[in-house]
Amino acid sequence: METLYLIPILLFSVVVHEVMHGYVALKCGDPTAKYAGRLTLNPIPHIDPVGSILVPLFSILVAGRVFIAWAKPVPVNPLNFKNYKRDSILVSGVGPFSNLFLSLCCTFAVIILLKFEGFFNSFNSETVKLAYEFILKMFYGGIYLNIILGVFNLIPVPPLDGSHILASVLPDRVSESYRQIGFFGIFIVIFLMRVPVFSHIFFSIVRAIAKPMEFLIQILA
């Protein structure tokens, strides 16, 4: 239960991820997500009963931490895109990169909170202290959580965003066959994450992206 503080930032992060897919799709000519009422930060329309509730709760109960979660994918109709291949790449790529941007936002939130630590401690209130510690841990965790979400979603295996980017640059016949892997690809991803070499590369990338964030906190906080 020590990672309970990650739940709010996790929920917000997966919602932003999906909203950005829909927003960029709208800019590329597809209003499907807009008409479905999905261009909102209100989490309710985005909640996936399994990915947003059951999986995180199960992770907390079994392992005491949240490993992964996802929101309901926003509906997108690529046939409405102005430029099919280019816009498919843009719409798919913006989700993971929105998480990387949120990681940077969390970094600056941590810096600001650390700058004002003395102010919060001046209240001499246990409630204020606990709230401060919760929020600080939430944003600290949000840095790494969003990097993990961003890198994970860029893995080029269906149904992850990286697979849509790859499929957009493959020849049409190969792309069609590749896309048909569909949700079964998640089992491939789970297998890969259990392979030591792949897992090592994955978390090496996460740590490399996190290094500049850690440096910013060290020099500015």
What pLDDT sits at residue 180? 84
Q: Does a structural domain hold residue 68?
A: yes
**55 within a domain of the structure (yes/no):** yes
d(CA 90, CA 182): 20
Q: Residue 67: phi, psi to the nearest 5?
A: -90, -50
Do the domain assignments include residue 44? yes
Rg (CA), the chain: 19
Find the domain containing 174 and state its range.
Answer: 6-220
**Which residue in the list 2, 18, 133, 214 is annotated as catalytic?**
18
- Confirm whether 205 is domain-assigned: yes
What total number of domains does the chain contain?
Answer: 1
Interval 123-163: pLDDT, tens = 888 999 999 999 999 999 999 999 999 999 999 998 899 99
- Specify if 212 maps to a domain: yes
- Does 1 reside within a domain? no
Is 214 annotated in the active site?
Answer: no
Q: Is residue 133 part of a domain?
A: yes
Q: What kind and span of H or E run contains 76?
A: none
Question: Who's near 175: CB < 8 A, 6+ residues apart?
Answer: 167, 168
Tens digit of each residue's pLDDT (9 = 90 or more) over 1-34? 457 788 899 889 999 999 999 999 999 999 999 9
